[in-house]
Structure 1
Amino acid sequence: MEKEVEFGEKNRMFGTLALPAGEGVHPAIVIIAGSGPLDRDGNVAKKLTTNLYKELAGFFTGLGFVTLRYDKRGTGKREGDWMAAGMWDLVEDARTAVEFLQAHPNVDKEKIIVAGHSEGTILATALGASMPLGGVIFLSGGVDNLPEALSKQRELGSNELLAKPVLGKLLKFLNVAQKSEKSAAKMMEKFKQSKEDIVKVQLFFKQPAKWYREHIAFNTREALKSMNFPVLAMVGDKDALADKEVLSELPSLVQGKADYSIIKDMEHGLRIQTEELSILKSGKRFKKILKRPLHPDALAKLEGWLNENYLGNNQKENVG
């Protein structure tokens, strides 16, 4: 059963609460969205429909979990400007969502999990370091912070370009990769020095300076050390936006039980991708991939982990 809910005293939030079949209390999952003007379902009004978070919520509720997904600032029914929101504003929104579930009569207060996707993995890390949670799920991210993730993305794109026979030689000759990194560093420094929420670059293009500033200052690895509850991280091997290699650090960072998996043929949006890994081709493939289902191996991993840690079914799982 799904219903719209409104919550939060200082900053009114709107979301969808879904209750599983059966009476009594249930464990719960809050879904934290990735970057950009995404609404509760993972969509951008009139521009992009993914329904990723709607599909995830349906899957989790089908397993027996209460789920809550909510509109980010300036999206859906929510007031505000998404670009003016800083990282800690988004963390506070996630905290408000957890507190709403803590007060709900059908929720087991000791078993509230946050599931962050993409940037949401960083927000879930910050939240988990600042309040007790029942667990955390990292989807398409985890361990590294935003500047590291952006650097890896630039590196992947640069390596693809440099691998091209003719163009690659020209780009090497012109030192394009080095110039690109210097430009990115200069941009980040501008954000760090700014006092504004939003700044313009190249005179016209707005950028979320406060958001960048707070992400740059946040140490994800130090925050992970505060977590004393189960943690699961999953990244696809065809994910062009998240670094799968850093997940191996997770067990040595958190105090609680940590599992991580690298899912074969899964892209950033948790869907099947059999094509080769390519950040340069991701835009062209996007609409086609959206028509594909969520990756069955990822769903099986999630189900096994949730059963073992929260539903008491003692189902085995594969750790990648």
Structure 2
Amino acid sequence: MMKAIAMAGAALLAAATTPTGVEVTIPGPQGALAGTLVDPDKDAPAILIIPGSGPTDRDGNNPLGVKGGVYRQLAEALAARGVATLRIDKRGLFGSKAAIPDANDVTIAAYAADAHAWVDMLRAKTGRKCVWLLGHSEGSLVALKAAQDPKGICGVILVSGAGRPYGEVIRAQLRANPANAPLLAAGEAALDQLEAGKRVDGATLPTPLQPLFRDNVQGFLIEAFSYDPAKLVSAIKLPVLILQGDKDLQVPVTDAELLKRGQPAATLKILPGVNHVLKPVDGDDRAANAVTYGNADLAISPAVSEAIAAFVRK
């Protein structure tokens, strides 16, 4: 009983000392960009968390089925380890909705420019000399692009990030599902065209492919397809941490290895039993793995914050 009381007391103390997130904004193209700053110690390392693809908010939730506040949990876990974080809404979405009229009218380069603007604000606001960039999933490509200009950046943390051009990633994902066999020829032809910088007529594609190649995202895809993450990381002279879960359904460990090959000085850490949304997974059942995305009660793996905090504090 005394042990239980002591544990409860420790939990209450931890909750009481977790710093409250503060809403911060910076000017965007046509309206404000918004984020949440959690700063436990002005002398601590500070990390900008760049979100993944689609309508993913600053907490890491996505109306398409990702719940549980992956980035909020990460920020809280890092704060408990004495690391500050700033997590953000992408231009055109959520708190940054006013920044542009159409959230699809974006590029990786534009997101990278926003990352630099956030870095400048955080340095000016807190007096820090530099800020770490942490990109998750698609955000890792944004971080790589932003870090081509190292001003104000301490280093780069790539979490569940592709090591191949995005066109290759989408091809592999289409081929991985046997049900896509009747769609492959049309899908690969569309990818070939977009990779060549040419738009496709989405209305001529099979119905299941139309959401993937809809007209209003083709500009984004053409630009995103032009980047090779392995080449981008090879040009970075800053410290780089590559984090990859070995239960990731979307990005295999081989992508992390490609990034490491591109930047041999990088630190590569494979996280056993961790999936794409940083949650713990037992076994190899793909359906059970996918269910964790929508399980709001399942905490992210503590191995993620442990590895990140150790790296930025080193």
Q: Quick check: TM above 0.5?
A: yes
Which residue number corresponds to residue 226 of structure 1?
Answer: 235
1:241 deviates by: 0.4
C-alpha distance in structure 2 between counterparts of 1:89 and 1:274, whole Å: 38
3-state SS of paired residue (1:108): coil
The one-letter code of the counterpart of 1:113 is W
Which residue number corresponds to residue 146 of structure 2?
Answer: 127
C-alpha distance in structure 1 between counterparts of 2:82 and 2:263, whole Å: 27
Task: Confirm or deny that 1:83 pairs with 2:91.
Answer: no
32 and 154 in structure 1: CA distance in 2 versus 1, 3 angstrom threshold: same
1:6 deviates by: 1.2
The one-letter code of the counterpart of 1:186 is A
284 and 304 in structure 1: CA distance in 2 versus 1, 3 angstrom threshold: closer
1:52 aligned to 70, 88, 91, which one?
Answer: 70
Structure 1 alignment gaps of length 5 or more: 162-175, 309-320
Which residue number corresponds to residue 247 of structure 1?
Answer: 256
Task: Confirm or deny that 1:20 pairs with 2:35.
Answer: no
1:45 deviates by: 5.4
C-alpha distance in structure 2 between counterparts of 1:188 and 1:17, whole Å: 38
Which residue number corresponds to residue 164 of structure 1?
Answer: none
RMSD: 2.7
C-alpha distance in structure 2 between counterparts of 1:70 and 1:123, whole Å: 13
C-alpha distance in structure 1 between counterparts of 2:160 and 2:268, whole Å: 11
Task: Confirm or deny that 1:141 pairs with 2:161.
Answer: yes
1:213-292 aligned at under 5 Å gives the runs 213-254=222-263, 257-276=265-284, 278=286, 283-284=290-291, 286-288=293-295, 290-292=296-298
Would you say the 8 A contact 1:60–1:67 is kept in 2? Answer: yes
C-alpha distance in structure 1 between counterparts of 2:242 and 2:171, whole Å: 20
The normalised TM-score by structure 2 is 0.79
The normalised TM-score by structure 1 is 0.78
Would you say the 8 A contact 2:242–2:260 is kept in 1? Answer: no
Q: Deviations over 1:29-68 (max 9, x none)?
A: 0000000011211223596533111111112222223211
Task: Confirm or deny that 1:186 pairs with 2:207.
Answer: no
1:306 deviates by: 2.5
Would you say the 8 A contact 2:175–2:184 is kept in 1? Answer: no
Which residue number corresponds to residue 116 of structure 1?
Answer: 135
The one-letter code of the counterpart of 1:240 is L
Task: Confirm or deny that 1:294 pairs with 2:314.
Answer: no
1:188 deviates by: 2.2
Larger mean CA deviation between 117-126 and 130-139 belongs to 130-139
Larger mean CA deviation between 225-234 and 61-70 belongs to 61-70
The one-letter code of the counterpart of 1:31 is I
Would you say the 8 A contact 2:136–2:161 is kept in 1? Answer: yes
Would you say the 8 A contact 1:188–1:212 is kept in 2? Answer: no
131 and 155 in structure 1: CA distance in 2 versus 1, 3 angstrom threshold: same
C-alpha distance in structure 1 between counterparts of 2:25 and 2:309, whole Å: 29
3-state SS of paired residue (1:153): helix
2:310 aligned to 298, 304, 318, which one?
Answer: 304
Percent of residue pairs bearing the same amino acid type: 23
Which residue number corresponds to residue 38 of structure 1?
Answer: 56
Would you say the 8 A contact 1:241–1:268 is kept in 2? Answer: yes
194 and 85 in structure 1: CA distance in 2 versus 1, 3 angstrom threshold: same
Structure 2 alignment gaps of length 5 or more: 1-19
C-alpha distance in structure 1 between counterparts of 2:292 and 2:46, whole Å: 34
3-state SS of paired residue (1:83): coil
C-alpha distance in structure 2 between counterparts of 1:101 and 1:153, whole Å: 37
Task: Confirm or deny that 1:3 pairs with 2:12.
Answer: no
